[in-house]
Amino acid sequence: LGQVNSYGELTVDLFDDKLQVPSPQDRPMTLSTMKKCQADLELFALATEDKKAKQLYTKNSEKLQNAIDKVTHILKS
């Protein structure tokens, strides 16, 4: 028996309850990658002396943080 949830994930009942099925890690991994990218943008902004580049990194870091804030509840494990 199988079922697809609202996130498009498939859950399968294997009938044999002794079988261990690993849980999917796609969503937590996506959240972790987004956080790493946001932190990288902050580091790039701190590391550069170019004002335009600093503004660009800071602006995109803020945009990515806003996106992270919006999707964290969905992507948390």
Tell me if the pTM is above 0.75.
no
pLDDT tens digit sequence for 32-59 = 999 999 999 999 999 999 999 999 999 9
Q: Domain extents for the chain? A: 24-77
Q: How many residues does the chain have?
A: 77
**Nearest to residue 31, comparing CAs of 5, 59, 65?**
65
> Does position 77 have pLDDT exceeding 70, yes or no?
no
Q: 10 is written with which tokens?
A: 């498939």
The conformational region for residue 15 under phi > 0 = left, psi -120 to 50 = alpha, else beta, is left
Residue 74 contacts residue 30 (beta carbons within 8 Å):
no
